[in-house]
Structure 1
Amino acid sequence: MAARDAFLAVAAHELRNPMTPILAQVQRLNRMSASGSDRAEIAKGLGRLEKLVEQYIRRATALLEVSRMTTGKRCLTPERFDLAEQVRDAVEAVRPAADYVGSTITVLAPAHVPVFLDRLAIEQILDNLISNAVKYGAGRPITLSLEVAADQATIAVEDRGMGISPVDQARIFDRFERAVSQGSAIGGFGVGLWVVGQLTEAMGANIQIDSRVGQGTTFTVRLPLQIGRSK
């Protein structure tokens, strides 16, 4: 009961706050339209609004995944797609946030990596790991690599930020846990890495963490190139 109440309080806070810049952007665009502003400026503003809405949807999706996984209703739906393209798309989606904090993101990946996996699950794994690197990377460079060997793909997301202590590493894949002290200015549900852990396990994959305080963190996900459809 206490964990549920705490989660609802955090969820209400995290879903309310992003609406402020979204509303401000809508109001700004309305004023620009009424004043006959340049169409290019309005288009630029609409692009920013689209990014804000996408970020909001990702937050809501994280909450939905908690509900589905807790009740055992999350089913995998594998399909054929290009994992290398998915990796590059995931980086581009998060790049505005990285630019804002001053982090560069380097992608090291083959041109194409065909897979038969759950596309949405991969998208969520990538979004959570890259967003975490941006959030905790202290504005330093981030590297995302994709390698393929035999029937396995390996994705590594490396930041050079604050790092995670051994004690915190042991708990960060648990629900409602975060690798920052209580009251930290860095926001979050404390469910992102739990979702990552659940999804990697469901696909027969595994995730490892290598981190040192003050020297950065690397999350490494090892995935099969194809999975069967879940029942």
Structure 2
Amino acid sequence: MAAARVSGPVTSGSTGPRADDIPASAEAAEETAALRREVAALRRALAERDAFLAGVAHELRNPMTPILGQVERLLGTAAREAPEGRVAQGLVQLRWLVERYVRRATTLLDVSRAQTGQLALLAAPVPLAEVVEEVVASLSPMAAHAGSTIAVAVPDDLVLSCERLALDQILDNLVTNAIKYGDGGAITVAAVREGGVARIRVSDRGIGIAEADQARIFERFERAVGDPRVAPTGFGVGLWLVRRLAEAMGGGVALDSRPGEGATFTVTLPLHG
């Protein structure tokens, strides 16, 4: 006997389509398309912002080159005629201010290049001690104003395989942070050789950074402020740029810190040869 055909409504256990599934699927597809359009618009806006920042940084930095050259010439004349005079001292301070301005503009430009994937770094032999000496000398007025001293312990025979300007940017950002958040204490810049790499440590004895914030501060627009009495300054991109530059040169950066016990940033970069 043939089996009887059962007619009636589809049961809840059926895998067939339901009438109310069709509008829901159409609605989901429309929401997905709207989200994709919004994401595309946001990406265009970010690209336009980065292009704008790059243009602004370029326009801000370029006029300062001849100004810095003129300051250098005036300083040379003043140093010959009255090296200890007020004019020479004022020009030294002016040179420092102009150099700091150029560095800030360069940071903006590097951030824009990093975001657009245009941050091309060319490795070459770079004497670490020489760059550290230049950075520390340029930041000594800032450190003196904060009441901090900077001690250097970097062997002369450490030659890195990196881009000199990128190394300068890394050290400048780390030492500047140590001065800002070092609470007027001693700062140390040291380096050691470990196999085929150099480990560069910048340490301060300041307010420190809570463990919960130690990953966050390497992101863009974040600041290493752990004390509400310390007003945040700068763009909040310094440590993010340090990480990006170090990684682009085959290295990395790490942090060891506790609130009230200071902070030590360790940058690892490959040695030449």
* TM-score normalised by L of structure 1: 0.79
SS at match of 2:145: helix
Match runs of 1:84-103 below 5 Å: 84-103=129-148
- Alpha-carbon distance between aligned partners in 2 of 1:139 and 1:168, rounded to the nearest angstrom: 22
Structure 1: which amino acid aligns with 2:245?
Answer: L
Distance 1:134 1:216 in 2: 11
User: How many Å separate the matches in 2 of 1:180 and 1:114?
Assistant: 33
CA distance in 2, matches of 1:122, 1:209: 18
Which of 203, 206, 229 is matched with 1:158 structurally? Answer: 203
Match of 1:119 in 2: 164
Q: Does 1:63 align with 2:128?
A: no
**Larger Rg, first or second structure (1 or 2):** 2
After superposition, the C-alpha distances for 1:185-231 in whole angstroms (9 at most, x for unaligned) are: 2311100000001011111101110000011000001111149xxxx
Does residue 178 of structure 2 align to residue 142 of structure 1? no
Unaligned runs of 5+ in 2: 1-41, 61-70
Which string of whole-angstrom CA distances, capped at 9 and with x for unpartnered residues, describes residues 74-117 of structure 1?
10122222111111211111111001110011111112322331
**Distance change >3 Å, CA 184–CA 107, structure 1 → 2:** closer
Report whether the alignment pairs 1:220 with 2:246: no
Identity of aligned residues (%): 51
Structure 1 partner of 2:21? none
Is contact 1:85-1:112 (8 Å) kept? no
Q: Quick check: 1:204 aligned with 2:204?
A: no
Report which of the two has the higher share of strand.
Answer: 1
The higher relative CO (CA closer than 8 Å, separation ≥ 6) is in 1
How many residues get paired?
Answer: 205
1:72 to 108, 117, 127: 117
Residue 236 of structure 2 is aligned to residue 190 of structure 1: yes
* Corresponding position: 1:50 with 2:95: yes
SS in 1 for 2:223: coil
Deviation at 1:183, TM superposition (A): 9.6
Cα RMSD of the aligned pairs, angstroms, is: 3.0
Distance 2:272 2:112 in 1: 26
SS in 2 for 1:90: helix
Aligned partner of 2:151 among 91, 95, 106 = 106
For residue 199 of structure 2, give the secondary structure of its aligned residue in structure 1.
strand
So what's the TM-score if we normalise by structure 2?
Answer: 0.68
- Counterpart residue identity of residue 110, structure 2: E
Report the residue type matching 2:243 in the other structure: G
2:223–2:232 contact (8 Å) kept in structure 1: no
